[in-house]
Amino acid sequence: MKSPFFLMLALLLTLFSACTGQAPKDIQGNWYLEHVLVDGQKIVVNRANSLRIREEGMSLFWSRNHSRTEVSWSGNTAKTKDYGWMTTSMCCDSELDNQLQGLLGGDFKILRQQKDSLIVQTGKSEWHFSRNRLPLELSESSWLIEEVREKATGDSWQPPLPYRLDFQAEGYRFFLEANSCWQTCEYAEGRILPNETGSCTEACCDAPRTEWLKAMRLDSLTYSLSNNQLRLSSANYELIAQPLRGLQAEAKPLPAEKLKGLRWELDSYSDGMMASVHAMQHIFSFEEGQGAISWKGERCQKDCAFKGQTLSLKSCAAGCCPQSAGEISEQFEGEFQVFSEGDQIVLRKGEVEYKLRPIRDDKF
């Protein structure tokens, strides 16, 4: 017969294991905030704040900042670590976001979970999330702008260079010759409704008729999809675009050697704290023994090796990356898992994620 000491030890180990488990796999990933209940009163959000649930932590993304915490799981209950929620301090979140940040409590509890909806409780508040704030046909999609028409005159214009249009949960962005414009918005069935916030960079010089696109950004839009073509229409203009990458593509494991011999353009980058889409062109290349990022005449080089689904990158020597390399290139080191996502690839190391796509005539 086992002694009481060993029975108690086994019980403690069982409890410890239960309290330090990982998030249930079916709730991991991104969720978009629909509304919050506080003492039965409904707070309607006017933008798509998002919650990312990872195996051992959570992140909530606001207008400018984001809050994150490491947690231990017991079933559907997440208990935050001693330091609780930590929020970045970029200026400036909206008044609503600041109000919501004040509602974050010590622990999260999953009250109800369905395939596309999630309710979590912290303190006296209930947070209602959905899997997809964007319409499914636009979610996380990229498009190539082919033509813009002025309705009053019937004039049409084709961009002189490839102009890209990207949709994300918070809004959409388009890239011109030198500038890019970002517009936060709300999505409804067949409609895109702009919020007040939004901006364009002011580098010189874009084609004169890019003003049509900038004018559309400030208007309510209708959209339609037909024959794999997107049409956006405002009161004065109509835009026609073709898909640039697969829509709602599922990430699948990919042998790392598939990266060899091709050139890849950076589509987006995330370090777990911030996610961004880059107008500056970063070109990636991977060969046996050597990987590199090139941009604006600069080059960051790494030793490179392929093993199964893993891409291994490490410093080749002092001075392989210039001081101007920045955060993206500093993170370009370690063991990356490789996935395919439509006609893109995803390099993932913990919370660091690069999304790349082949450029020019390279075929993937």
The residue with greater pLDDT, 267 or 329, is 267
Every domain range in the chain assigned CATH 2.40.128.280: 20-130, 252-358
Which distant-in-sequence residues (6+ apart) come within 8 Å of 265 by Cβ? Answer: 281, 282, 283, 284, 356, 357, 358, 359
Fold (topology level) of 20-130: Lipocalin (2.40.128)
Q: What is the structure's pLDDT at 17? A: 38
358, two tokens: 């082949």
**Confidence check: pLDDT of 48 > 60:** no
Three-class SS state of 261:
coil
Which ranges of 202-354 would DSSP assign to H, the alpha helix?
Answer: 210-217, 326-330
Query: Beta-carbon neighbour count of residue 327 at 10 Å?
Result: 13
State the span(s) of the chain assigned CATH 2.40.128.270.
142-243
For the question of whether the overall pTM of this predicted structure is more than 0.75, the answer is no
Which overall architecture, per CATH, does domain 252-358 show?
Beta Barrel (2.40)
Contact call for residues 78 and 72 (beta carbons, < 8 A) = yes
pLDDT in tens, 17-32: 344 467 777 788 878 7
**310-321: pLDDT as tens digits:** 999 887 766 677
pLDDT, position 70? 85
If one looks up domain 142-243 in CATH, what number appears? 2.40.128.270
Q: Quick one: average pLDDT of 279-286?
A: 78
Per-residue HEC secondary structure of 69-83 comes to EEEEEECCEEEECCC
